[in-house]
Amino acid sequence: MNKWTFPTQIYAGPDSLIRLTEFNNESILIICDPFLKDSSNLTYVISLMEGKNKISTYTEVVPDPPITHVVKGIQYMEGIKPTIIIAIGGGSCIDMSKGIAYFGRKLKHMDIKSFIAIPTTSGTGSEVTSFAVLTDSETQVKYPLLDDAVLPDEALLTPLFVKTSPPNITAYSGMDVLVHALEAYVATAANNFTDALAQQAIELVFEYLPKCYKPTATDQDRMSMHEASCLAGLSFNKAGVGLVHAMAHQLGGQFHVPHGLANSMLLPYVIAFNCSHNPDVAKKYARLAAKLGFVSHNASEEDKLGSLLKAIIKLQRTLKCPMTLTDFGVDKATSEIKLNLMTDRALEDMCYRFNPYPANHDDIIGLYKNVL
């Protein structure tokens, strides 16, 4: 039996930030990426709430948030005693804020009325997922925190912060959206509901990500990618993701490859691998390719799958995504040394269990070798 709820209230549109004007007599903690600290956009957000509320800002956010940074955030929060937490940033910022809010409520028994996420990239979908990925700095292992209690209470989707997003950030985060949706589409827990969300996200990515990569991107283009990210997040939060993510987490942990880029590198190879081992996955992706208009509905399954892979690779090239670790700047000999370690950890990664085919150690080694 499937049970469906979307606990996070979603406010979407250029005017979504007006929601913040409704707070009164609250202690508000804003957790944001450090480059936003003195920005006009953050000043605008604060102006919507100041005068009626006590506002504090915390900016000690880094990529792949370490567990130690979550501890520091909680220590800072104890002195503030916030009633509202607002995370403004990309996936790392929101994940770190999830950890801070979660442990603040669970361990410190803080009275946090609402935890709000305002994503500044169209990528992770973290604003609507029950996941937070935290990193052990010593071992470079990423640990997923999975609990409905980490879900933000509200998500505000606005084009304000993504207008100035650098092209490479737009590209990598956008490819992350595509991977979320394509993996959720064939994950072991997928169903008609998650498929509908995933397919719409995929359509939006192929149409709007190339537009957002250009300096001529409009607010509507940006909002469409924001909505694609959110749709993909809602989908994979129920369906799961798969082997791409399990392997990409290791590329990020060992070589600091941005998560969306790591996903992008692996995506075509894992799709081809899953299709070659699971006929149902091949049929489903083939139907999707035809629905997306990449090929005729009368084409062979092989041609349909080929058209999907070609469309993905064309998009990667349009966005100038490095296709291998070597292209990214990692020496091949260095990456080869880590192959067995990364493979062992990929097999232990929680995302692996949702892959539609149980790849073994040798399978994953072979897949990694494609992107060295």
pLDDT tens digits along 145-190? 788 899 999 999 999 999 888 999 999 999 999 999 999 999 999 9
| Arithmetic mean of pLDDT, 76-99 | 93
Q: What is the pLDDT of residue 341?
A: 97
User: What pTM was computed for the model?
Assistant: 0.93
Mean of the pLDDT values across residues 343-363?
96
The pLDDT of residue 136 is 73
Which amino acid, residue 131? Answer: F
Both tokens of residue 304? 């349909």
Pick the more confident residue, 78 or 287.
Answer: 287
For the stretch 55-66, pLDDT in tens is 999 999 988 788
Name the packing angle between helices 243-255 and 259-277 (round to 10°).
150
Among the residue ranges 131-135, 197-201, 251-255, 363-367, the one predicted with the least confidence is 131-135
User: Over 70: is that where the pLDDT of 142 sits?
Assistant: no
- On whether the CB atoms of residues 98 and 146 are closer than 8 A, the answer is no
Confidence of residue 298 (pLDDT cuts 50, 70, 90): very high
Close Cβ partners of 333 (under 8 Å, ≥ 6 residues apart): none
Across all residues in the chain, what is the average pLDDT?
A: 94
Specify the length of the chain in residues: 372
Residue 231 has pLDDT above 70, yes or no: yes
Task: Round to whole Å and give the CA distance between 230 and 222.
Answer: 12
Q: Are 230 and 155 in contact (CB under 8 A)?
A: yes
CATH superfamily for 165-369 is Dehydroquinate synthase-like - alpha domain (1.20.1090.10)
Instruction: Report residue 33 as tokens.
Output: 């990426």
Rounded distance between C-alpha atoms, residue 59 and residue 86, angstroms: 12
Write the CA distances from 224 to 228, 316, 372, integer angstroms: 6, 19, 33
Say what the pLDDT of residue 69 is. 87
Q: What are phi and psi of 119, to 5 degrees?
A: -70, 140
Least confident of 99-113, 269-283, 305-319: 99-113
DSSP string covering 175-210 = HHHHHHHHHHHHSTT--HHHHHHHHHHHHHHHHHHH
Tokens representing 100?
A: 């801070």
Q: Are 92 and 63 contacting, i.e. CB atoms less than 8 angstroms apart?
A: yes
Task: Give the pLDDT band of residue 292 (cuts 50, 70, 90).
Answer: very high
The DSSP secondary structure of 299-367, one letter per residue, reads S-HHHHHHHHHHHHHHHHHHTT---SHHHHT--HHHHHHTHHHHHHHHHHSGGGGGSSS---HHHHHHH
The number of CA neighbours under 13 Å toward the Cβ of 165 is 30
Same fold for the pair 9-162 and 165-369? no
More confident residue, 21 or 38: 21
Check residue 157 and give its pLDDT. Answer: 96
Per-state percent for the chain, helix, strand, coil, to nearest 5 = 60, 10, 30
Q: Where are the domains of the chain?
A: 9-162, 165-369
Q: Are 302 and 283 in contact (CB under 8 A)?
A: no
Q: Note the CATH number of domain 9-162.
A: 3.40.50.1970
User: Does position 354 have pLDDT exceeding 80, yes or no?
Assistant: yes
Joined together, the tokens standing for residue 340 give 């067995």
In percent, the amount of the chain with pLDDT more than 70 equals: 98
Tell me what pLDDT residue 134 has: 79
Q: Would you call 11 exposed, middle or buried from its count of C-beta atoms within 10 A (0-12, 13-18, 19+)?
A: middle
**CB-based contact 185:288 (threshold 8 Å):** yes
Q: Name, in order, each residue with C-beta under 8 angstroms of 200's C-beta and a sequence gap of 6 or more.
A: 228, 231
- The answer for residues whose C-beta is within 8 angstroms of residue 242's C-beta and 6 or more apart is 183, 186, 187, 270, 274, 351, 352, 354, 355, 356
What is the average pLDDT across 243-255? 94
